Amino acid sequence: TRVEKGGYKHFMAKEIAEQPAVLGDALRHYLGETGQITLPGGGIDFTGVSRLTMVACGTAYLACMTAKYWIEQLAGLPVDVDIASEFRYREPPIPEGTLAVFVSQSGETADTLAALRYCTGRAQRIVSVVNVAESSIARESDLALPILAGAEIGVASTKAFTCQLAVLALVALEAARQRGTLDAATLAAHVQDLRSMPGRLNAAMATEATVAETARRLAEAEDVLFLGRGTMYPLALEGALKLKEISYIHAEGYASGELKHGPIALVDKTVPVIVMAPHDRLFDKTVSNMQEVMARGGKVLLITDAKGAAEAGEGVWQTLVLPEAPELFAPILYALPAQLLAYHTAVAKGTDVDQPRNLAKSVTVE
Ligand code: G6P
């Protein structure tokens, strides 16, 4: 079936806007009416699993990085996250009790597939999280978890990322349930929080006009820094990746705490610093990093919630206020401004948003 733009200027815009709907579909698929997590094919048996190795490329890799925070915190299982091209040639030892998880929108990325085969060759149990259900990666897995995002045409991944996050959040919650690291009431509350995310994403779409205005100014920058702590760290990397992919502006994502170990040397009034910081337990730490930037003349764009905006203080170049989100699942919400900023910056620059130069949707060669 041919996918149409449905009135949008670009597939990317359509796919960004679809997220509340497809995320809702994915969550309903796994949670039904009851809120009980149901994975296909007998699910994942976490008995005997003592660690996870997660492998992917690009945006899917950043979904894995986010999931590491969830799985470690909720289920108490250590997680290694690896870039597929590094994993496959490093040929890492795989201790007994490892569950190997591969995340891929297309299910055809050559490096990810090769990494999967490396694990198959070592008799690992393979779980994949894929969008294309009939893909090579899905077929070669013991269990494939579909993300149900629907066809994604824009080269820069958007709705696949948020749906990957949703499915990985469910995997983390299921691991916690089986391992007894969360009591039933806390687990149910987290499930409820997760189910509230499509509505919050929908509400956050209302920021689009403001984001577009900010993006017009961002389009003049030559370098942009993204900062975040905790789960906002992988989101900072995703914000930078999206921006460089489609607007061709040099962008880097950093863990806020690493600012003083390098990127602060770049800060001056020409470098916008985008700080992703919901008002969570790490907020104060991030604010102090933000002040270090402002003290050096840096222009800060703070992406936060109403509480964060009220507390952040003076001197911020611009503040983008998102709806509140449960701390754990805030990354699903903060993906949206990262995508919208990149999108509108690219539109302002007049680049080919859906087909950025030198990039491919599915990298099936090495
Ligand atoms: C390419 C795409 C990215 C994607 C990455 C991994 O670089 O442009 O959007 O994140 O491949 O692709 P996969 O299909 O394995 O998720």
The beta-strand segments (E) located in the chain are 51-56, 79-83, 98-104, 126-130, 143-146, 223-228, 250-255, 272-276, 299-305, 318-322
Probe target for ligand 1 pocket from 109, 116, 167, with the most ligand atoms within 8 Å of CB: 109
8 A C-beta contact, residue 253 and residue 245: no
Q: How many whole angstroms separate alpha carbon 331 and alpha carbon 235?
A: 7
| pLDDT tens per residue across span 328-349 | 999 999 999 999 999 999 999 9
Largest CA distance in the chain: 57
Note if 361 is an active site residue. Answer: yes
8 A C-beta contact, residue 158 and residue 152: yes
Q: Is the pLDDT of residue 2 over 80?
A: no
Q: How many whole angstroms separate alpha carbon 194 and alpha carbon 172?
A: 12
Q: Which of 230, 201, 261, 267 is nearest to 16 (CA)?
A: 201
Question: Which ligand 1 atom is at minimum distance from the Cα of 155?
Answer: 8
Q: How many whole angstroms separate alpha carbon 299 and alpha carbon 55?
A: 35
CA 270 / ligand 1 centre spacing (Å): 31
Q: The tokens of 336 are what? A: 């949206």
| pLDDT tens per residue across span 146-161 | 999 999 999 899 999 9
Question: Which ligand 1 atom is at minimum distance from the Cα of 137?
Answer: 15
Q: How many whole angstroms separate alpha carbon 83 and alpha carbon 142?
A: 21
* H, E, C per residue of 47-76: CCCCEEEEEECHHHHHHHHHHHHHHHHHHC
Probe target for ligand 1 pocket from 105, 147, 168, 353, with the most ligand atoms within 8 Å of CB: 105
| pLDDT tens per residue across span 72-106 | 999 999 999 999 999 999 999 999 999 999 999 99
Q: Which residues line ligand 1 (CB under 6 A)?
A: 57-60, 104-106, 109, 112, 155-157, 359, 361-363
Name which residue sits closest to atom 4 of ligand 1, judged by CA.
Answer: 58
| pLDDT tens per residue across span 120-176 | 999 889 999 999 999 999 999 999 999 999 999 998 999 999 999 999 999 999 999
